[in-house]
Every structure is written in C-alpha cells, then in structure tokens.
Amino acid sequence: MAAHVQASSLPPSASAEGAGIVDGSVNGETERLERPPKRQNQRNNYGSNNQDQPDAAILAVPSVVVRDSGGSRPSRLSGGGGGGPPTNETEEEQGLKYGAQHVIKLFVPVSLCMLVVVATINSISFYSSTDVYLLYTPFHELSPEPSVKLWNALANSLILMSVVVVMTILLIVLYKKRCYRIIHGWLILSSFMLLFIFTYLYLEELLRAYNIPMDYPTALLIMWNFGVVGMMAIHWQGPLRLQQGYLIFVAALMALVFIKYLPEWTAWAVLAAISIWDLIAVLSPRGPLRILVETAQERNEQIFPALIYSSTVIYTYMGTHYTPQQSQATASSSPSSSNSTTTTRATQNSLASPEATVASGSRSGNSRPHPQQNNQNRDGSNTLASEGMPLVTFKSNLRGNAEAAGFTQEWSANLSERVARRQIEVQSTQSGNAQRSNEYRTVTAPDQSHPDGQEERGIKLGLGDFIFYSVLVGKASSYGDWTTTIACFVAILIGLCLTLLLLAIWRKALPALPISITFGLIFCFATSAVVKPFMENLSAKQVFI
Amino acid sequence: MSHAAAIWLLMLLQGTLTALGERTRDKMYEPILGASCFRRLNGTHQTGCSSTYSGSVGVLHLINVEADLEFLLGNPPSPPYAPLIPPHLFTRSNLMRLKEAGPKNISVVLLINNAEKMKQFSHELNCPNQYSGINSSETCDASNPANSWNPWGTGLLHEDFPFPIYYIAEEKEIDKLKDCFEKFNNKNYETHALRSLCAIEVKSFMSAAVNTEVCMRRTNFINNLGGSKYCDPLEGRNVYATVYPRNSTPNAIEGTKTDEKFILVTCRLDTASMFDGVGLGAMDSVVSLAVFTQVANLLRQILPAQSSLPDPRRNVLFVTFNGESYDYIGSQRFVYDMDKLDFPPKSAGGSPIAFENIEFMLDIGTLDDIANIKLHALTGTQLAQKLLEQLNTYAKSPRYGFNVNIQSEMSAHIPPTSAQSFLRRDPKFPALILNARPTNKYYHSIYDDSINVDFVYANTSQDFTQLVEVGDFKTLKAESLQMKVRNISSIVALALYQSLTGQEYTGTKVANPLLADELLYCFLQSADCPLFKASSYPESPTALPLPPMRYISVLGGSQESSGWTYRVLGYLLSQQKKIPKENCTILPLHFFAGYNNTGECRLTTQNYSHALSPAFLIDGYDWASGQYSTWTESTWSQFSARIFLRPSNVHQVTTLSVGIVVLIISFCLVYIISSRSEVLFEDLPASNAALFG
Amino acid sequence: MTLPEFFGCTFIAFGPPFALFVFTIANDPVRIIILIAAAFFWLLSLLLSSLLWFAMIPLRDVLAFGVFFSVLFQECFRYIIYRILRSTEQGLHAVAEDTRVTDNKHILAYVSGLGFGIISGMFALVNVLADMSGPGTMGLKSGTEIFFITSAAQALSIILLHTFWSVIFFNAFDTSNYLHICYVVGSHLFVSLLTLLNASELYITTLLINYIITIITGVLAFRVAGGTSRGFKKFITCQ
C-alpha cells in the first residue's frame, strides 16, 4: 500500500556499480554486499565519481564495461549539465527532467487503472452496491444516524488498520527469519486466487451486466489462458507491456473489491487511515516498512518485486539489483576496501540526484534514454512490498484464504528464486561466460543494453497506491457525478506530481499516498458538497464560466 | 459577534439542504409509477413478460377505440410503439395481434386504469389449474366456456409476451402519459419519423427463461461465488389451527399415528394477477377466507369441551392453503407431507396426522354468488348426503331465517379448489366442496377488488369477537356482503357442530357480521385495522394502510397474508387464560393485544406449514411430468418506467455527423498548423527574446 | 439509445481540444504536467467561487453574482499560475525535453490556457454528456432539442477562449500591456454573463456573439503570439 516513488539515477551508476559488483562477486560475493559503505562517503565522493569510475571499471572484469562507462560519462556530463562538470543544480534539473518523463510514465498507468475502475463502477452495478461485508468490517453502518455510522466507520477502519499492521509485522518477522518458503507460497497462492477467482467473478459480473451468454468451456478457456499468462507474466517473465497490463488490472480488481465490500463511510475512513499509516510506516525511524527495506538492503535482496508497478522490467537482472539496494544499505555499515569505491558510487547514485544527472547525461550521450531512479525505486519497491503485504493479507483473510493478497506479494514469491539466480549469474560473470549477466550489469553499454531493451529503468510505484487511488476515484464516481470524479482524478495526479517533486528535493523514499489521498479526499467532498450544486445550477441554465 | 457567526452557520446548514442542483436528466425524464407484469415459469413453459435487457422503449400511442390499433398494426411510421390500452380493449384477441406484430413494432404495452367501459376482465384460463386437478375431462371443459369454471377467462396470465406490459393505476400518471401523447405525438402521424416523439421506457428485465427446469439448473449449478439466482420457486406458508388444542405432549413415539379424528375445513389463502403487487382476489378467495374464519370462530365458541363430545378424539383442523392459484402448491404439499407422516411439521410438535385420521374434508371454494351454493363431491356418498341435509337444516330453518338453498352436485365436475389435490391422490377421499356458480368476471385480475364484491366497510367500532343474536344485524343491511358471509358461515359452522356433537344446535347465537366486516376491511382496504391490531402483540408497530399482498410470492417475499391469517386464526381459535404477560411467552401460549387493546394471554393452536411444491424436494423430479406444481418466478432487478422525448433519427444523425466533421477538421487543421507553425509565427516579438536573454 | 447524440456532442466539444492535445501536448511530459497543473488551478478557482456562492445563501439564485465572482477568481488564478510558471521558468528550461516549451514562452501560456479550457469545458459538459447517453433527449418538460448541441458548441468556444485568453494574458503581463489584461478579464466577464441569456433560450444570439468574440480573441492571440498577416498568407498559400 505504501508507495514510494523514488527517483534515482540508474544507468551510469549502474555501469559503475555493475563493475563494482563484479568485483564484489569476485572477492566475496554477497557478504561484501551486505556491508554497505557509509552514506557520508558517498555524498562527499560525488564529485570524484568520474575519477572513481575508471577504477571501478578497471576492477570490473569485463572490458566492455570499462570502455562504455568511460565513453559515455563525459558525453553525459556535457550533454546534461550544459558542459563542464555537473553542478548540483544542474543535476537537480536533470533529475526533474527525467522526473517529468517518469511522472507521465506513472500518470498513464494510474489513469488507466482508475479508468478501469470507474468504467466498471458505472457499468456493472454489482460493484457499486455493498450487500456483503468483509470479515474485517463487523459494523455495517446500517443505522441512519450519522453518529453511529461515524463510529462504525472508525471502528471498522481501526480493525482493518490493525490487521494491516499485524500482517506487516508478521511479514517482517518472516522475512527476518528468512522464511522465504512461507512468504513464497503465500504469495503464489494469493496471486493465483486473485488471477483466477477474482477475475472469474469479474468476468461473470461483466457478462451479466451486458447480458451476454457464454458457455462454460469458453469461459474456462478464457480464464485459464488469462490466469496462466498472468501468473507467468507477473512471477516469471513476459513482455513488459503485458506485465504492466496485468498489474494494472490486478490493482483495479483489488480496488473494485474494496469498493464493493467496504461500507460507505468505512471506505473513506480506511483511505484516510491508510495514508496516515503509510506516512508512519515509511518515514518514522522505526517504521516497519523502513525496517523491512533496510533488512532487504542489508541482505542485498530485492524484496518483493511483485508489489510494484514498474515502467521497466522487474524480473531479471540481478546485476542492476545489487546497486540500488546497496545504495540504501550503505547508510549503515562500513564498506570493504576494494568495494568501497563502487559501493559509494552506487549509493550516491541512488541517494542523490547527481546520479540522475549522470544518467541523463549518459542518455544524451547514448542518444537513448536511460531513466534513472531504479536504485531508489527499488527501495521503494521494497517498501511497497512490505506495505503491500498488509493489504494483501487482510484481504486474503477476508476471503478466507490468502487469495486476495497475492498480487502484491506474488512478486516477493520469486524472491528466493531470484536470489539463487542472481548468485548464479554473479558466478557466471566471474567466469566471464554469462553474457547476460554482463549485459545487465553494464547498463551503460549501449550495444548490449539495446537488445534487451529492458535496462531502461523506470520509476516504480507501489500497487497499493494504484489500488487506493482507484478506490478513491471509483468511490467518488459511484455517486453518479462526473465532476466529482474528474476533480478527484486531477487532485490525485497533482498530489502524485507533488510527491515526486518532494522526492526530487528530499531524495529519500516517500510514501505516495498521503498527499494524493488528502488532495483527493478534499476535492471529492468539496466538489460533491459545494461545487456540484453550483455547476449543476450553471449547466442547467447553460451558463458557462 | 458570536451570535452573528452562529446565525451564519445555521443558515449555512440550512442552505446545505436546499443547495441541490438539478441534473439535466431530471428535465429529460419523468418517472411513471405503475406495476409491471413479470415472468413465471413452469415445467414446460415461460409465461408473463419481460423487457429487453436495457429497457424497452416505445413511442406512446393512445388507443381509444379498436380501430386505433390498426395504425400500429399496419405499417407505423416510427416504430416501435407503446400502445396505451384501456381495460375494455385489453382483450385476448388484441393482445395476440400485438404479440404477432412483434417487438419490432410493439415494444411496450401500457394498461391504463380506465374501467368505464369494462365488462369483464379475467386473465386466468377458462379452466384454472386444469392439469393439476383430477384427471377427468368432465371436471372442466375449456372448449365450452359456459360450462367451465371461469367463463370469462382470457388465459393471458398464461401467455408469454415479447414486450413488457405495464399497468398504470393512478389518475395523475395516466394524465402525464396522455398529455405527453397529445402534445408531441397526436398530430401529423405521417411525419412521426421526422419528429421527436414522446416515448416511454419500461425496465423489467427477467433473468430466467425457457422453463423451470432450465432456470433451476442454472440457479443450482455451482458456477459462481456470488450465488446468483435466476428464479425462485413459488413458496409460502399454509396456516392451520385446530378448534381444540391437541395433546401436544409427545407421548407417542415419533412416526406413530395418532388416534385422533379430524374434520378438515380448508380454504384458499392466495390469489393471482398479472401485475406485481396489484390484485386483491376479493371475490375469488377473500370471501371464502372470511367464511372460513367465521366458521372457526363460531365453532370454537359454541362447541362444548372436547371431553364432552360423543367421541372425545374428534377435533376440527382448519387449514388455509397458500399458492393454490398456481397448481395447488399448498394442498399438494400438505398431501405430500401427510403421506409421509410429516404433518404437522416437526417443529410444531404433536404426533403426525395421517389420512386415516381424517373423517372428511369440507373445502370452502370460491363463493362468487353466496346465495347460490352447491355442495360438490366426486361421488355421491352417505356422508355427503348427510352433510347436505345438515347444511340445509340450518339454511332453511325459519328460526335463523338464512333462507339459503344449498344444492348438491355429485359428479366429476369439481371446482378448481384444494380438494382436487386430495381427490387426485385418492378419488375415494371423502372431500366435500362448497362452491358457488362462477359469476366472477374479474377472476384473477387486478379488478377483483372490494367494488367487485360490493363491500362497504361498516366501521362500527363494536366488539367483533363475540357472537350475536341471529336477529341482530348490527346496522348492516340484510343483503350486504357481511350478512351473506355471516349466514353461510353460520350454516357451515352449525352443520359441523351437528356432525361433531351429533346434536342439533338450538341456540340463537350465530356468527357476528362485524367479524366479516373487519376481516374484509383488513384484507381489502387496509391492514391497519382493528382485527389485525387485536390479533397482534400489544404495541406492535402499526401496519401500512394498504391491503396485505396475497400473492404467494417466493422465499423471502412479504408473506403478509399468511402472517396476518396466522395471527387472526390464532386469536380467534384460542382460549383465554388467566396468565400474566410475563409468563405468556412460550407457545402455545401467546399474548394478544385483544379487542380492547388490554392484552390477553391465550392458549393457541395455530401454526404454519410449508407451502413449497414437492417438485422442488424430490431429487431428479421430472419437471414435465405434471405431477406437482413446478411454478417458479423469475428474478428481476428493477421495475421502472419513464417518459421522455425520443429524438428523431434525423436529429441524431445530424448531431453525430456534425461532431465527426468537427473532429476530422480539427485534427487536420491542428496537424497542419503545428507542423507549419514556424511559418505562421515567423517573427517573435522582441519581448520573447528578452525573456531568455 | 441516443449514443449518436452523445458522440456527436462529445466530438464537437472535445474534438478540437483533443486534436490540440494529441499534436501539441502529448509528446512532451512537461507540457502534460503543466496542463494538469493548470487544470488543478482552475479547480481551485472553481472551488473558491463555489464556496462563495454557497456561503451567499440569499444570492444563490442570482447566478450572475456567482458567475461574476467565478470569472474574477479564474482570472486571479490565471495570474497565479502565470507567476508560478514565470518563476520556475529557469528550472523548466533546464528540465524540458523540448526546449521550445521555454524558448517560446507562448507555449507555456498556450498549454496552461488549454488546461484551463479543457477542465472548464469538462466541468460544464460532462454531466450533460452523461445524461445524454440515455434513450431520451431534451424537451419533455422544458428546453429544446438543440439544447445539447448548443451546449457542446458553447463548451468548445469556452475551451478555445480560455486558450486564447491565457496567451494574451501571459503576454500582457510580460509586456505590461494593461489594455490586453482588461480585454481578457472584460471579454471573459462578457462571455460568461452573456450565456445567462441561454436560460431564456436565446441560443442563436449567444452562440453567435460568443463565436465572434472567440474569433476576435483568437486573432488577437495569434498576433500576440507573433503571427502576422504575412505569415498567415504564406501559410494559406502553402509557401
């Protein structure tokens, strides 16, 4: 649920980091990675990045890397900063520039998700009427008294939130204890349920809403294909667009489930509560999500990649993964000597926009865009994942099983596999055999990166954010007033923009819900209470302002 | 200062209530209140009507005379149309012609409540429940309506229509329709296609189709998590009570028969009509229900204690069957249960009653013409003869002056009443039926109401529970319905008294006509009535001032009529006990408000039994076999109708083409401009350059 | 179902802005963001004017009052967005992928104006459009059949006007041309108050005048943005 959007620079750093990683792998594999360098170093070092790089490159076994990084660097700098070494300002600007692109890359899926939800709400009456309730909302707000409804809603949201908190903590405990199998199984199961059962429910209601008869063989065939492709796309691999499409759909489905099963006022209360929780969990020093992320970084793992929407490929490519995680990991411990340079760089990349600038520079140099931000995104994803967990779990509980939970956590399921794979890859790179690993790591290398087309690292947003944005807009549209819906939509997008802006300024993981949801709630209620009558008066008399 | 703020706040709060804008659609649409025809299914067919999924739209066209129909049936200029038909033109032949014209021409049929020229109006078949009674061609002859049980029947209730039929009762709503028709449609019929016309949209989509077998299969198939239903079996509750409390102690082992002997007195509880929620069935069953209730009340009050009867095991079992309009659902189930020794239901306690325990059955059928009643039996038996004599003893007795002549008919020409279910199981079953010659021209229709039975509420506010002297008319006229009901129910009750005690009744107390008055009022005009209040728990919420729904409905339906009957029977067939209210909580003790609303604790005998056709209980039942009732009712999501102006095709096409042209032009224009903008904006003002200098 | 009517009116009102969006906005993320930000500011202005209208209970039925202040609020927010855009121009310049956004300052004005226009048109029309998709049309109780099509045409003119106004307005503040500022505020007021006549179904009058004003404003915006008749001739003759 919590979303973090992090803007980080990728490609250039990636190359450097990649090199560093290679070193690390050569030396001591993962252990080394688990000890990140200090942050201060990184910041201070930033200026020396360029100088460091050669070393890193040299350290890196593949010669390609060295070449690429060396070649691309200068060009980037010149391109992005307008010549000369990048100053902080220019870096920032370029961060923003790429930010703009990524903001749009988030706008599109978020809008699509809302579109699906709003269209569904307006065409399938099943989802706009609440007659069955979740186990977690024992108070059904049946009383006409507003005061009773209010305490019902508060109690419901309190219960829901406590479930969320408990599940988050459970997840952290499981994760700390390295119970990967449990998490894995849980995620697979829940994603399975979501992709099959909820989708089937949706299909059925869709067919009913349009009174389309369909025979069971056809329906089963559709369901089977849809579900299996979805499982593969989400958990294993598939075309990027397909994966994104599935994630959007899955988020929309979850949002619909919330809209359907939460009582009126509870839904609003939950929206408010979840954004507050998001704030706490991500920002407070002992916030569970933060702990989760830090743990993951210490272990140098990508926690729950399935919990986030990414404008790039999520599965694959361990090489890149290392770097981002390190960046945050760096915060705590001291780096090993050999790695220090690389790690520091990595951290810099992730933490600071300078990297971003680098990335942009690289992009210009390469004449093809390398959206940065991966590093931090990844962190974001982690946090997301952790946040997503609670959502998932609570949902799953509702349904009796972990069905609902799945989508967000599905990704995490892959985790152990991934770790294993990554190690393999690392080894292979060591030996120099595995081309693939090389490619991934040497993001900057234009030749190698191009074929995959996957290295373009995008910004990432938690599916939880998708869900709650859509819940807000869907709920607003269920009142039948389109101006309210549009106002909510615009407010949420602006909130997202602001969050991203703050991200660029503060350079740390931020929860994406609070600003957007606050704006959305304000505009939803203000519009339906004040603006709507005004606009209706105007449009009834055909007065235009 | 604070005052001003408070006032301002108050005004704001008030303002919130009034600050309601009007949506455009409120100006476009005008809702029309009414009742819709809906779909029912049996084992082989679907009947009734359904709109299209998104709602059927038709252009209003008022039919004043039959010739107006020709306009619609010929080659109407702007189909589909929605004829507004007054009842006297709502005939089978007209409806069939509209049906043949097809949904392309006729999409909605509106029935308006304009009873002026109406002579008859019955949607039931000539032979109601023809295929579920005793299997004899003599019972009813559909080919010869004069000899049938419903000579005026059109059978429209059993037709399937491809369009919705919507009944508009209120004068105000009818005026809206007529005004709209006059204003927009009733001129220049040739140019209909070019004008916007006043049209109506009716939404009454039925989710079930084909027949009960199909829709039950769809409903029962575990195919969804939501558990959607397509149809529900018609389902309700029979109400029964005994005149003497049964020995409820379970001395008998389960399943063993009792040695009690029962006289079964039955009647019908429900009615039917084509439109949802309309139709009182006054003549076809409320009158007999009133007689039935009066008989019960009178018998309980005049009979001596059970132990002083010649045979103390004798008792009278009063049962009123639900769902009889739909192939005898209630009585079929009753017979089925009794065969399996499942009656009374386990929950009610008491040892099971078998057919051997029933001495005879007296079924009170439809009493259209109360002065002209026949006692029917399948074969002439001594029992029938004896009862006929007893009935006539009191009917003709000068002491009571009822002056009723009860004839008998011992043949297979049996009226369509509950007794047929019993006779079908065993033709030798001692079933006697009191039934009048059919004179009801509005059988099973929306017009079978208090006017049809000529009922005027006396509203005397006097005690209706006590018996009265035979000469006391209680301000009612001798020929009033209440008096007729009093007479026939007294006759029946006294005859039964004689059967039970073996002695002639010599008292002068007879049934109270005010009880009939109150009961008819409750069932025909308002459930917020003294009788229902007296038989409710004290201080229970008052009922709506509408007559209770008497359609059997489905599980979860209102079940108003059986509920009220249950209370009324409980109240009238019980004995008052001196038990304080606190101890009067466990059945059979029941606390009633009583006539004076003082509260009385009574020892009751009434109970419910399930009226769901056995067809839905039997695994693998052959739906087409016709053995049991298979009626189901389709589910629907809403009934609604609204009128609006339907734009002409010309208007629509114009709008659309203008839109498309604008779209295309703007795309071309913008593309050209944006691709050649440097030509257009060749010299930038100096200020521009300055900005970035 | 009068879906044809629905699509017809949608195309009329939003076809041109959609074309503008597709060809001039969609391929630049910065412009999209500015567009949405402008829409947001318009929303804020609407919220303020609604609040005022809502609070002035006795004047609720006097729409002219609400319209008047709404126009003023909109122009205020146009100024605010002008200040914001100008103050972040340097940043934008560095950020923008397509340097034209900032090189030609009219593009900023145009984008924000289009944002104002689109959201304004949407708010005015979206509920009407939604009601249009039913089976009926206007005219049963009040109003005429051309209600929808005139609404759509009015909305289009308002969308275009907002775009032009912003171009003129931004430029006027850049060059301290107070006449232009007055023209923008005045014509906005005039157009909005003129539409009050729609209530008495003087559609043709209002539409005609509004489109005349739209064209005048368009020409003015064209000139302000650096267009000349010579360039126009060249453009027309495809040189």
Q: Could you report the per-residue pLDDT of A239-296, keeping only the tens digit for each?
A: 888 888 988 998 899 899 889 888 888 899 999 999 998 888 888 888 887 787 778 7
- Residues from B in contact with A at Cβ < 8 Å: 16, 19-24, 27, 53, 205, 223-226, 228, 637
3-state helix, strand, coil in chain B (%, to 5): 35, 20, 45
Higher pLDDT, C45 or B558: C45
Strand extents, DSSP E, B589-690 = 589-592, 600-603, 607-612, 632-634, 640-646
The candidate with the shortest Cα–Cα distance to B28, out of B180, B156, B173, is: B180
- Residues from A in contact with C at Cβ < 8 Å: 90, 93-94, 96-97, 99-101, 103-104, 107, 481-483, 486-487, 490-491, 493-494, 497, 523, 526-527, 530-531, 533-539, 541-545
The candidate with the shortest Cα–Cα distance to A297, out of A258, A251, A271, A328, is: A328
Inter-chain CB proximity B21 and A536 less than 8 Å: yes
Distance in Å from the first CA to the final CA of chain C? 48
**Boundaries of domain holding C17:** 3-236
pLDDT reported for residue B249: 53
Q: Is the predicted pLDDT of residue B680 greater than 60, yes or no? A: yes
**pLDDT tens across B206-239, in order?**
988 889 998 888 888 765 555 678 899 999 999 9
Least CB–CB distance from C140: residue in B11, B645, B660: B645
pLDDT reported for residue B630: 93
**pLDDT tens across B279-288, in order?**
888 998 899 9
> What is the rounded CA–CA span in Å between residue B687 and residue B682?
14
Looking at CA atoms only, how far is residue C8 from chain B in angstroms? 4
Q: Is the predicted pLDDT of residue A83 greater than 50, yes or no? A: no
> What is the rounded CA–CA span in Å between residue B321 and residue B319?
6
Q: Is the predicted pLDDT of residue B97 greater than 50, yes or no? A: yes
pLDDT reported for residue C94: 65
Go through chain A and tell me how many residues it has.
Answer: 545
- Indicate if A131 belongs to the active site: no
Please state the rounded mean pLDDT for residues B356-370: 90
> What is the rounded CA–CA span in Å between residue B138 and residue B366?
19
The residue from A52, A278, A379, A481 that is catalytic is: A278
Tokens matching residue A489: 């939509």
pLDDT reported for residue B4: 57
**pLDDT tens across C62-93, in order?**
888 889 999 999 999 999 999 998 888 777 66
The candidate with the shortest Cα–Cα distance to A514, out of A322, A272, A191, A162, is: A272
| Among A29-33, B53-57, B154-158, B671-675, the least confident range | A29-33
Inter-chain CB proximity B670 and C175 less than 8 Å: no
Q: A461-489 as b/e, with b when 16 or more CB fall inside 10 Å? A: bbbbbbbbbbbbbbbbbbeebbbbbbbbb
Inter-chain CB proximity B225 and A197 less than 8 Å: yes
Average per-residue pLDDT for chain B: 86
- Counting other chains too, the contacts that B536-543 makes at CB distance below 8 Å and 24 or more residues apart are B536/B567, B536/B592, B536/B593, B537/B591, B537/B592, B537/B593, B538/B591, B538/B592, B538/B593, B538/B597, B538/B599, B539/B593, B540/B593
Supply the DSSP string of B420-453, one letter for each residue.
HHHHHH-TTS-EEEEEEPP--TTTTSTT-STTTT
Looking at CA atoms only, how far is residue A361 from chain B in angstroms? 24
- Burial class, B586, CB count within 10 angstroms (exposed 0-12 / middle 13-18 / buried 19+): exposed
Inter-chain CB proximity C50 and A530 less than 8 Å: yes
- Sheet containing B589-592: which strands, arranged edge to edge? B575-577, B600-603, B589-592
pLDDT reported for residue B292: 94
Residues sharing a CB contact under 8 Å with residue B3, sequence separation 6 or more, in sequence order: none
> What is the rounded CA–CA span in Å between residue B211 and residue B215?
6
Residue B588: cis peptide before it, omega within 30 degrees of 0: yes
pLDDT reported for residue A92: 53
The candidate with the shortest Cα–Cα distance to A478, out of A201, A124, A204, A208, is: A124
pLDDT reported for residue A77: 31
- Indicate if A465 belongs to the active site: yes
Region for residue A388 given its phi and psi (left: phi exceeds 0; alpha: psi -120 to 50; beta: otherwise): alpha
Chain B within 8 Å of A540 (Cβ-Cβ)?
Answer: yes
Q: Does domain B235-612 have CATH number 3.30.70.2860?
A: no
- Helical packing angle, A374-399 and A146-176, nearest 10°: 120
pLDDT reported for residue C217: 94
> What is the rounded CA–CA span in Å between residue B427 and residue B422?
8
Go through chain B and tell me how many residues it has.
Answer: 693
Chain B within 8 Å of C218 (Cβ-Cβ)?
Answer: no
pTM for the full predicted model: 0.77
Q: What is the 3-state secondary structure (H, E, C) of C111-123?
A: HHHHHHHHHHHHH
The single residue listed with the structure tokens 């369901």 is A223
**Contact indicator for C120, A483 with CB cutoff of 8 Å:** no
Q: C79-93 as b/e, with b when 16 or more CB fall inside 10 Å? A: eebbeebbeebeebe
Domain residue limits, chain A: 4-124+134-180+267-315+322-331+340-361+371-396+413-540
Inter-chain CB proximity C127 and A539 less than 8 Å: yes
Region for residue B155 given its phi and psi (left: phi exceeds 0; alpha: psi -120 to 50; beta: otherwise): left
The domain total for chain C is: 1
CA trace torsion C178, C179, C180, C184 (10° rounding)? 100
Q: Is the predicted pLDDT of residue A458 greater than 60, yes or no? A: no
Higher pLDDT, A503 or A471: A471
Interface with chain A: mutation pick from B12, B13, B20, highest number of A CBs within 10 Å: B20
Domain residue limits, chain B: 24-217+638-646, 235-612, 651-691
> What is the rounded CA–CA span in Å between residue B580 and residue B574?
16
Looking at CA atoms only, how far is residue B17 from chain C in angstroms? 11
> What is the rounded CA–CA span in Å between residue A1 and residue A254?
11
Three-state DSSP class for residue B146:
helix
Chain B within 8 Å of C2 (Cβ-Cβ)?
Answer: yes
> What is the rounded CA–CA span in Å between residue A542 and residue A395?
46
Phi, psi of B315 (to 5 degrees): -155, 165
> What is the rounded CA–CA span in Å between residue B525 and residue A124?
40
The candidate with the shortest Cα–Cα distance to A130, out of A315, A263, A35, A246, is: A263
Chain A within 8 Å of C197 (Cβ-Cβ)?
Answer: no
Q: Is the predicted pLDDT of residue A416 greater than 90, yes or no? A: no
Q: Return the residue of A nearest to C89 by Cα.
A: A93
Interface with chain C: mutation pick from B195, B681, B683, B684, highest number of C CBs within 10 Å: B681
Least CB–CB distance from B22: residue in A201, A204, A536: A536
pLDDT reported for residue A302: 63
**Contact indicator for A54, A431 with CB cutoff of 8 Å:** no
**Contact indicator for A326, A402 with CB cutoff of 8 Å:** no
> What is the rounded CA–CA span in Å between residue C18 and residue C20?
5
Q: Is the ipTM of this complex over 0.90?
A: yes
Q: Is the predicted pLDDT of residue A99 greater than 80, yes or no? A: no
Give the pLDDT band (50/70/90) at residue A417.
very low
Supply the DSSP string of B320-356, one letter for each residue.
EESSTTTTSHHHHHHHHHHHTT--S-GGG-S----GG
Query: Residue A352 gets which letter from DSSP?
Result: S
Q: Is the predicted pLDDT of residue A45 greater than 50, yes or no? A: no
pLDDT reported for residue A95: 56
